[in-house]
Chains A and B, each alone.
Chain A
Amino acid sequence: MTAAGPPQGDRPLGGAARSAVRGERFNYGWVTLFYKELLRFWKVSFQTIAAPVLSALLYLLIFSHVLEGHVTMYDGRVNYTSFLVPGLVMMATLQNSFANSSSSLIQSKMSGNLIFVLLPPLSALDLFAAYVLGAMVRGLVVGAGVFVVTVAFNPGLLSMPHPLWAVGFALLGSAILSILGLLAGLMAEKFDQLSAFQNFIIMPLTFLSGVFYSIHSLPPFWQTLSHFNPFFYMIDGFRFGFFGISDVAPAWSFGVVALAAAGLSALTLKLLAGGWKLRL
């Protein structure tokens, strides 16, 4: 502190008269929060990017070692390892999108520094955009990382018949999980509540969505049930981009996923605008 003693004669301390209201033309506020969200996971990228890429690679090595040659997909048109790659890419994308927004929010809540985001003039949409886009970037970066390492084992996958479908489903899927992460982070008051959400909702929906199998291999009851799992449409549609084959028509899947994204966005924005669990 150098301000001790009588007021010093150096520069004025930004008197009230200088408090110009700026930033009206472009809302730079949410962009800053978005950037902070990126920096947050980037500073610990070994844990947030490298680790999930490695575990996806382990899944691929082990499952393909065990099942390759025993199992073929889509009536023998696709070998199992190739089938597995898009599933693992999507799974990594979804899980990391969820992990980013949910853990950022719960950490800020638990440590109390969420107040730094609540005091500035950030609207519900600002908060939504920053947290969701930040989480999407993390999910997509990890997904891309998994894609790069797994494609090394299957160069044939690079000749995708419908890459735009794959990109579309990756974007929507990561958006949905980022929003779910935001919701879970808002809802949870403790870390264990968040991990319950993750372990009892997100994980089962992901694993039962057809990451490791085609739902056509399931008994009819489970096939029907899978159609109620929104994650199934994300992964099935994503896979269509790779093979031009899917369990459900991609346009139908896209419709379901887009609708889910729109519904969740509307719900989350409404909750944020009402200050649910944020502004008491």
Chain B
Amino acid sequence: MSAAAVEVIDVTRRFGAVQALDGVSLNVAPGEFFGLLGPNGAGKTTLISILAGLTRADRGSASVLGHDVVRDFRAARRSLGVVPQELVFDPFFTVRETLVFQAGYFGLRKQGAWIDEILHHLDLTSKADANMRSLSGGMKRRVLVGQALVHKPPVIVLDEPTAGVDVELRQNLWAFIRKLNTDGHTIILTTHYLEEAEALCNRIAMLKAGRVVALDTTANLLSRFAGLTCRLVVSALPAAWRSRVVRREGRNVHVGLDHPAELETLLAALREDGIAIEEMALAETDLEQVFLRIMKQPDAVARGEP
């Protein structure tokens, strides 16, 4: 039997008055591409910090490849590569020095060939000897990815790696990370871009106020709220339908439909109230709508079977 890539058991953490994590448990199997979603302040970064040993849990335990992050911290940290959310760097050093030092901190020397390979794949070869200060934001972000990979960690955690990154770099970054995943690395990702999570992750945990409110495969999450969304531009909505609004964007109102037949009921209700439809479009449920619906549920824990 092989250990889970990441195992979190009943982890609780409070910062002053804020309950950042409130009994979080989850398992990530080796080779998974796992998404960790949730609004700001849901506890995603705290959970990652506990895995990385940057923060300690008040209660509960976490392990990486079976190594407890506190008791067996050396093995746990060797197994984990973390791309932090903040764009941090050491202004004293060049790109190559940064990577050589990072490898050295993990006890690895003479990593020149591997570092060249990382630089090549992140398209940083021409910047290898440039000072970190002179790099653009996107390049600094790539160096952070490189730093997380220098010790060839089996498990890689990316904490919103594409925040503030332009579209092209984002696409390239995802292609690279997908390749790491097909090469056997377990990937844990937090992101605000739900379409990215939908496209990349096999399984997703949604956090809300420090609790896991959904944990299932991406496919199951999408089918759980199978159905359609109807986008309307109307002057008003019949009273009975107001609770079905998933999202409002300007004059657009997105109404969730549990099955296609409901469209007829909706149209009938609009006609009855004498409301004219200016625009209308139908769309399949996407992860964003699932996310919004789950976040709206008061306290219902939509936990999938493991």
| B-binding residues in A (CB < 8 A) | 1-8, 11-24, 27-29, 31-33, 35-36, 39-40, 43-44, 108, 111-113, 115-123, 275, 279-280
Contact of B176 among A1, A16, A31, A108 (CB under 8 A): A1
Bound CA–CA A16/B102 (angstroms): 18
**Chain B's nearest CB lies how many Å from the CB of A212?**
35
A134–B175 alpha-carbon span in the complex (Å): 41
User: Which range contains the number of B residues in contact with the other chain?
Assistant: 35 or more
Q: Which residues of A contact B89 (CB under 8 A)?
A: 111, 113
What is the predominant secondary structure among interface residues of chain A facing chain B?
loop
Task: A113 to B90: give the CA distance in the assembly, Å.
Answer: 6
B117 pairs with A13, CB closer than 8 A: yes
How many CB-defined contacts (below 8 Å) exist between A and B? 150
Known contacts A14-B117, A14-B183, A20-B152, then 10 further A-B pairs from the complex at CB < 8 Å, ordered by chain A residue: A13-B149, A17-B184, A28-B109, A29-B106, A36-B93, A39-B93, A40-B92, A116-B101, A120-B106, A280-B15
Provide the residues of chain A in CB contact with B153, threshold 8 Å. 19
Residue of A at shortest CB range from B80?
A: A119
Q: Check B185 against A15 for contact (C-beta < 8 Å).
A: yes
Binding site for A on B (CB under 8 A): 15, 30-31, 49, 52-56, 73-80, 82, 84, 86, 88-93, 97, 101-102, 104-109, 114, 117, 120-123, 142, 147, 149, 151-154, 169, 171-173, 175-176, 178-180, 182-186
**Chain B contacts for A4, CB-based, 8 A:** 171-172, 175
Contacts of B182 in A (CB 8 A): 7
Task: Report the separation of the CA atoms of residues A7 and B174 in the bound assembly, to the nearest whole angstrom.
Answer: 11
A275 to chain B: closest CB distance in Å? 7
How far apart are the CA atoms of A18 and B151 in the complex, in Å? 10
Q: Decide: A112 near B176, CB < 8 A? Known: A1-B123, A29-B104, A29-B105.
A: no
CB distance from B43 to the nearest CB of A (A): 14
Set B78, B88, B142: member contacting A121, Cβ < 8 A: B78
Question: Are B54's CB and A119's CB within 8 A?
Answer: yes
CB-based contact A14/B92 at 8 Å: no
Question: Are B104 and A32 in contact, with the CB atoms below 8 A?
Answer: yes
Q: Are the CB atoms of A43 and B92 closer together than 8 Å?
A: yes
With A23-B108, A43-B92, A121-B78 already in contact, the answer to whether A16 and B55 are too (CB < 8 A) is no
A-B contact pairs, 29 of them (CB 8 A): A1-B121, A1-B122, A1-B142, A1-B173, A2-B120, A4-B175, A7-B175, A13-B149, A14-B117, A14-B149, A14-B183, A15-B185, A16-B31, A21-B78, A23-B107, A28-B109, A29-B107, A33-B104, A35-B104, A108-B90, A112-B88, A116-B105, A119-B52, A119-B54, A119-B77, A119-B80, A120-B106, A121-B78, A279-B54
Contact indicator B54/A118 (Cβ below 8 Å): yes
Give chain A residues whose Cβ lies under 8 Å from the Cβ of B151.
Answer: 19, 120
In the bound complex, residues from chain B placing their C-beta under 8 Å from that of A112 are 84, 86, 88
Which 7 interchain pairs have the tightest Cβ spacing?
A: A23-B107, A32-B104, A1-B172, A120-B105, A121-B74, A3-B176, A112-B88
Partner of A117, one of B93, B105, B117, B175: B105
**Most chain B CB within a 10 A radius of its CB, from A1, A21, A27:** A1
| CA gap between A28 and B111 in the complex, in Å | 13
